[in-house]
Amino acid sequence: MKILVAETISEKGIEVLINAGASVDVNTKLSREQLLGIIGDYDAIIVRSVTKVNEEFYQKATKLKVVGRAGNGVDNIDMEGATKRGIIVVNTPESNVVSAAEHTIGLLLASCRNIPQAHARLQERVWDRSNLKGVELLNKTVGIVGLGRIGSLVATRLKAFGMNVIAYDPYISDARFKKFGVEKREKLEDLIKESDFITVHTPKTEETMGMIGKDQFKIAKKGVRVVNCARGGIIDEQALVEALKEKIVASAGIDVLVDEPNPTSPLLDLSNVVVTPHLGADTVEAQDNVGVTVAQEVISALKGEMVPNA
């Protein structure tokens, strides 16, 4: 079993692979050309969100049997291409959801209280509290778009702040809204009009890309605050930039960008944006969970055993 680990996973995950008798190459600094040059030697690859496992990749990956996605979203994997070739794709959908939910809350608080901006000022030895006034969460309405694993964890946590939590998710039962004590909105439009804060937790699909954009900012409350800890572009970046400049959106907390991992987003130039480089799942706990789970799944798949998240 020859396995290429092409993006960083935890040491515990690597140990699982080695203990199973696999020959493991950890090479997280390969250029695209280098990756395509060597992938033909491997039975399995483990990636996170940066590596594009697409048609070009599959054409070179002639021995590949398994793709391990060390994380949740599989939007960087061409699933149809894998299925067509009998390649098994495994992921770890549960392993990092608490970390992603906690990071969402962190971004929400950091952006609505200007914490990084204040920190930067003080590190410059400037004691200046002007233009840093924030807002409270208590009694405000937060609109959650996508009440799945992470959206529901965010809902539970924000209720503890005394927020009124509403959500839009046309694909789940009313019982799920009830279970988390969240008010359902049938239309995205209604959620947008009512929310003081909006946070998106959908997968990246054709339907969700840009689902919050120019038209939605036109009907949003002036001074709404937004968070995207899901996938770059679910909140349209250019529309968000305009809305932030016009102060329709007062602040944004952003973990994910369209052009990852390149720091090219126009959001990076704005002072009312708090941004992190896709750190939602970067905790000790989540990475241990993800690393071990994906390693076990890849080994099971290579051995032809049952795999829970295939």
Q: Give the whole-angstrom CA distance, residue 109 versus residue 34.
A: 41
Side chain identity, residue 30: L
Q: Per-residue x/- mask for ligand MLT, residues 70 to 99, rule CB under 6 A? A: -xxx----------------------x---
Tokens of residue 194, six digits: 């009512």
Q: Which is nearer to ligand NAD, 253 or 280 (CB)?
A: 280
Does 280 bind ligand NAD (CB under 6 A)? Our answer is yes
Contacts 24+ apart (CB under 8 A), 242-247: 242/214, 242/217, 243/217, 244/270, 244/272, 244/273, 245/270, 247/222, 247/223
Q: Give the whole-angstrom CA distance, residue 84 versus residue 50.
A: 23
State in angstroms the smallest separation of the CB of 163 from ligand MLT. 25
Q: Give the whole-angstrom CA distance, residue 115 versus residue 84.
A: 48
Does 203 bind ligand MLT (CB under 6 A)? Our answer is no
Does 208 bind ligand MLT (CB under 6 A)? Our answer is no
Does 104 bind ligand MLT (CB under 6 A)? Our answer is no
Does 252 bind ligand NAD (CB under 6 A)? Our answer is no
Side chain identity, residue 310: A
The residues annotated with a catalytic role in the active site are 231, 260, 278
Q: Give the whole-angstrom CA distance, residue 179 versus residue 307.
A: 29
Q: Per-residue x/- mask for ligand NAD, residues 31 to 50, rule CB under 6 A? A: --------------------
Does 256 bind ligand NAD (CB under 6 A)? Our answer is yes
Tokens of residue 128, six digits: 């200046």
Q: Per-residue x/- mask for ligand MLT, residues 33 to 62, rule CB under 6 A? A: ---------------xx-------------
State in angstroms the smallest separation of the CB of 72 from ligand MLT. 3
SS3 at position 145: strand
Residue 48 binds: one of ligand NAD, ligand MLT, none (C-beta under 5 to 8 A by kind): ligand MLT
SS3 at position 51: coil
Q: Give the whole-angstrom CA distance, residue 239 versus residue 235.
A: 8
Q: Which is nearer to ligand MLT, 73 or 210 (CB)?
A: 73
Contacting residues toward ligand NAD, per CB under 6 A: 72-73, 93, 96-97, 100, 145-151, 168-172, 201-204, 207-208, 229-231, 255-256, 278, 280-281
